[in-house]
Structure 1
Amino acid sequence: MKLYVYVLEGKDWAVEESYVKLKVGKFKSRTRVLKNTRNPVWNEEFVFRVDCLDDDELVVSVYDGDGDDESSGLFKVNSCRSLVGRVRIPLSSVAAEEDHHLQPTWFSVQSDESNESICDFCRRDH
């Protein structure tokens, strides 16, 4: 089964340079770094292989892109990447929907330390 995830945009981010990492099971991906905006618009689509919608989750992590050297590629080990916050979305929420399809939905990304809302992003599965 395939899970389609759309990272559309964020609003009122705490940082001006950011990117989003996505993880489902052992599969990972990420958006490009957007600079000079607290309201980034990615409009990027990702596809993940999923064995069972009931047993897994989509982990969305927001990172400060400041100091990230894009010319070194996605796997640069020593770049400065500060975690801003994350949200965990159970895939069972997709399974519960008719036709396994969610309309675009805003989620608040929570800081791991303070549990306060840092920013929002929109994601859609089908």
Structure 2
Amino acid sequence: MAKEGSSSVIVGLVKVKVVRGTNLAVRDVFSSDPYIVLKLGSQEVRTRTVKKNTNPVWNEDLTLTVEDLNDLLVTLEVYDRDTFVDDPMGAAFFELRPLVEAAAEAATATSRRRRTTSGVDSKEDGAGVVLRTVAPSSGNCLVAGSSVVWSASAGKAAQSLVLRLGGVECGEVELQLELEWHGHGGAATPQ
């Protein structure tokens, strides 16, 4: 059952490419065996474990479903895999709201443009159109600004980001997000 004021349908799928970790904390004798857990609402997905590496490369795609437009906060937790209890190696968070809002606005504008140009798509270069840039703040764990890019031909919004891990002495994680928007017009835009 959906919460009051939330969407009860899938409005988008977010493909999260977990690219790499950099300078992660050492939790074993000389290294760590890191893996990442991503959480959005009640969903939880995780990467594989990379053995004995504090600069792991995952290049692994994980998928989260966007259903509740009032709950767009994703938490990222890094753990060191051990035999009995996995040790925390830091955590970070980021909002999907800029990505979702930009995708909703761009999808609506693209749909209108297609209707008014008799089926002729507007021109865009292969890189897409930058819709907005998210700056580092106390409301996110971004290391640097991150642009949300819309590709009308693919019908997707994308964002690359590097997150600084908190609660630990060091570490950053690089992600690439891609949102496939399923919302219809302005009906499912977040508020």
- TM-score range for the pair, normalised by the shorter chain length: 0.7 to 0.9
Deviations 1:41-69 (A, max 9, x none): 0000011111145532111001112x24x
Contact 1:22 1:28 in 2 (8 A): yes
2:65 corresponds to 1:58:
no
TM-score, normalised on structure 2? 0.53
Kindly tell me the number of residue pairs found equivalent between the two proteins.
Answer: 111
Matched, 1:10 2:15: no
Distance 1:30-1:105 versus aligned 2 partners, 3 A rule: same
Kept in 1, the 8 Å contact 2:99–2:159? The answer is no
Preserved CA contact (<8 Å) 1:54 1:91: no
Q: Quick one: distance in 2 between partners of 1:62 and 1:93?
A: 24
Gaps in structure 2 of 5+ consecutive residues: 1-11, 27-31, 103-130, 132-149, 151-155, 179-191
Matching of residues 1-126 of structure 1 within 5 Å: 1-15=12-26, 16-53=32-69, 55-65=71-81, 67-68=82-83, 79-97=84-102, 98=131, 99=150, 101-111=157-167, 118-126=170-178
Q: Give distance in 1, aligned partners of 2:38 and 2:44.
A: 6
Instruction: Report the Cα offset of residue 120 of structure 1.
Output: 0.6
Secondary structure at the residue paired with 2:90? strand
Displacement of 1:80: 1.1
Secondary structure of 2:98's partner?
helix
1:83-104: CA deviation from partner (whole Å, max 9, x where unpaired)? 1211111111323543363432
Amino acid at match of 2:159: Q
TM-score, with length taken from structure 1: 0.77
Alpha-carbon distance between aligned partners in 2 of 1:60 and 1:117, rounded to the nearest angstrom: 16
